[in-house]
Structure 1
Amino acid sequence: MQRTRLYEAFQSIARDLNASLDLKQVLTTLLLKSVEELNVKAGSIRLLGQRGATLHLAAAFGLSASYLEKGTVEVAHRPLDQRGLRERATLAITELTAESGLQYPAEAQREGIRSVLVLPLCAHSTAIGVLRLYSGQVRRFGAEEIAFATAVANLGGVAIENARLHAALRERIDALTEDSNGWFRFLALS
């Protein structure tokens, strides 16, 4: 029964992610649907900076402003994210207080985060960011939940990259249109 529910949820998420090329809409859909379907407290999406050294907050749900503003998220200081990004592997942490690979453990504890699912976001075999899903209680994520979340993250990575490429293309088209209009005005005045 759970497998059927997750399959139907995946179809719904895929349909919603493919319905938009707006980056903000894609991020919001990916995050909110993931949090809802896995019944977790909160979630965040962080995308890699240009040099791949930092993770920048792109979307968040259910987390306090103080937790989100805890400081710069450096990949080198986050072994969990580093491993997930390098190996492109999903990491399920049942008890966060027992984990030593956190950059801000005290802040996570104050936020009431007990378990976390760390999912790499990849596009064309390249890591572009991380989707994190947070549970307020100790939780052992099941194999079907992990498989579902991994599939959603894989689809989400491609949707994010498509939205980014669409935005870059739109900017380029606008610049070319402006340039050609300038030439037409120049030639008309000549």
Structure 2
Amino acid sequence: MSSHDKIDLDIYRFILETVTSSSSLDVMSNQVIQLLIGSMKIKGATFFVLNALEGELEIVATQGLSVDYVNKGPILVDKSIQRPSNRETVIISDTHVSDQLQYPEKAKHEGIRSIVSLPINVKGKTIGALRLYHSEVWQITPLEKNLLESLALNLGMALKYFRLLTTVESMKDTLAEVHPVWL
């Protein structure tokens, strides 16, 4: 780990252990956000899931950001942190000189100087995003980028798992209502 890296293999492993041992999406996402902010010493982080019907990213967990910033308006997939493909990591090292933000004035007022937006993809389909916010200009290193992209892949698998678990539990509850003897 270079002296500039905000994340290393030990931190990554600890966060992954949290992902794999969590009992629910809410618990997992809140713990991951807290660990990222604390270990990387960044301003804040947000974990989003995609609402495909509305074309919006919806917050699952966030920390380190003001209520005003969090409630600034809808995070539209085709306008928020613009990129030709929403399946790519977007690194905005300095928000003061970027034209990629949907709400640039809100970011400036919030004291956000850099943003790393990591898509959460499963089988080539975007299902969410992880965003990291820093109050300083941040030149992300190749190691940081690789570890964060790997974390986003794991968050995608975890999100898929929790969705499947919710579906199975719902089916189990329905069966219990219809045929209580079966369960």
**Percent of residue pairs identical:** 26
Q: Secondary structure at the match of 1:133?
A: strand
1:68-92 CA deviation, whole Å, 9 max, x = no partner? 1111111122253x5452xx21111
**How far apart are 1:67 and its partner, in Å?**
0.5
Distance 2:84 2:45 in 1: 19
Runs of 4+ in structure 1 displaced over 6 angstroms?
Answer: none
* Rg (Cα) greater in structure: 1
Contact 2:81 2:90 in 1 (8 A): no
Q: Which has the higher helix share?
A: 1
- Equivalent position to 1:44, from 39, 43, 46: 46
The number of equivalent residue pairs is 179
**How far apart are 1:38 and its partner, in Å?**
2.5
Q: Secondary structure at the match of 1:131?
A: strand
Structure 1 unmatched ranges of 5 or more: 185-190
Distance 1:13 1:32 in 2: 10
Which residue does the alignment assign to 1:77? 79
Which residue does the alignment assign to 1:23? 25
Contact 2:93 2:138 in 1 (8 A): yes
Which residue does the alignment assign to 1:129? 128
Which residue does the alignment assign to 1:11? 13
Which residue does the alignment assign to 2:179? 180
Q: 1:34 to 1:24 in 2, by over 3 A?
A: same
Which residue does the alignment assign to 1:169? 168
Which residue does the alignment assign to 1:59? 61
**How far apart are 1:8 and its partner, in Å?**
1.6
Which residue does the alignment assign to 1:143? 142
| Map 1:87-98 → 2, pairs under 5 A | 88-98=87-97
Which residue does the alignment assign to 1:160? 159
TM-score (norm 1): 0.86
Distance 2:77 2:56 in 1: 5
Q: 1:146 to 1:59 in 2, by over 3 A?
A: same
Structure 2 unmatched ranges of 5 or more: none
**How far apart are 1:125 and its partner, in Å?**
2.8
Contact 2:92 2:115 in 1 (8 A): yes
